[in-house]
Amino acid sequence: MVTKVSESYDAELEEIKKRKLLELQRKMEEEKQRRIQIEAILRRILTPEARSRLANLRLVKPELANIVEQQLITLAQSGRVPVPITDDFLKKLLAQIYEQTHHETHIRILRK
């Protein structure tokens, strides 16, 4: 009787593991497809130099690269920027983002 319960538990555990694995694989495939779509859009709206700069940014700061990609896609789709987006425009956009997000830290030491 103990072995039947144990076998039932093991089978149930294996089923849960299978479902979790399938869900993880599905999510990874969706993310891969989303990434392919984004890359295709970026190829259409960016010059090769701008794409290269964005790829370098992705290596250093992936979160920032995601934000910049979404902004570029939104700007291009709404027609607010000329397509293709040049490296100079991307530099200006990155400088603006840096100014908005960069907070300089000042440390004051007061001596008695």
Q: Is residue 69 part of a domain?
A: yes
Averaged pLDDT for residues 57-82: 94
Q: Is residue 45 part of a domain?
A: yes
Q: Which domain holds residue 54?
A: 2-100
Averaged pLDDT for residues 88-101: 91
The amino acid that residue 102 corresponds to is H
C-alpha 76/C-alpha 79 separation (Å) is: 5
Band (pLDDT 50/70/90 cuts) for residue 105 is: confident
Give the total number of structural domains in the chain.
Answer: 1
Which pLDDT belongs to residue 101?
Answer: 80
C-alpha 17/C-alpha 10 separation (Å) is: 10
Check pLDDT > 90 for residue 100.
Answer: no
Band (pLDDT 50/70/90 cuts) for residue 1 is: low
Q: Is residue 112 part of a domain?
A: no
